Amino acid sequence: MLKYLIVLTFLWSCNFSSGSAPAKTALNSSVPEVQDTLIPPEYDAGHQLIRVERTETEWKARLNKLEYNVLREEGTERAFTGDLWNNHEQGIYICKGCGLPLFSSASKFNSGTGWPSYWQPIKPEYVTENKDTRYGMVRIEVECARCGGHLGHVFDDGPKPTGLRYCINSVSLDFVPGASDAN
């Protein structure tokens, strides 16, 4: 009987430590005010997206170490390790730093790279693109247009209709299941 209880306890603990907790908790834990909420963009009188400005101290308090490294220091997560690269649910992917709706599951595809990939953002003005020449390569970096957070890179080897592959770090995003990109 004791062996049976030990085995059941072990199996039960493995189940909870293997990442089987509800996805909402794991995906949205570091940005409490955006849980289950898309924060719509605000525009100034000149129809420009109003930027979110925070100090480095505020960013460090808001983001965990990996999120800070990727979003604020242009780092990257290892391939096939992020929470969202293999997510197949319907919904919206929002910026981890500010909640701006960036990508829809309707444009997500399996690129085989180990990072979430999309063939287009929800709106082109929600992302900014910059030339990145680090590491002896020429790439196009993608940032959130509202908070300036580093998201990943865009490449021209994606599927139709755009031919683009927005290769984005999972850690730069939160996922809102069932949300629509009608904004």
Burial class (CB in 10 A: 0-12, 13-18, 19+), 8: exposed
Residue 105: both structure tokens together: 């599951």
Q: Name, in order, each residue with C-beta under 8 angstroms of 134's C-beta and a sequence gap of 6 or more.
A: none
Q: Is 71 left (phi over 0), alpha (psi -120 to 50) or beta?
A: alpha
Residue 14 a catalytic site member: no
Q: Name, in order, each residue with C-beta under 8 angstroms of 75's C-beta and a sequence gap of 6 or more.
A: 66, 69, 150
Cβ-count burial 22-49 (b if 16+ within 10 Å, e if not): eeeeebbebbeebeeebbebeeeeeeeb
Spell out the alpha helix ranges (H) of 29-64.
Answer: 56-62
Catalytic residue among 95, 98, 147, 167: 167
Residue 91, Cβ neighbours under 10 Å: how many? 19
Which residues are marked as active site?
167
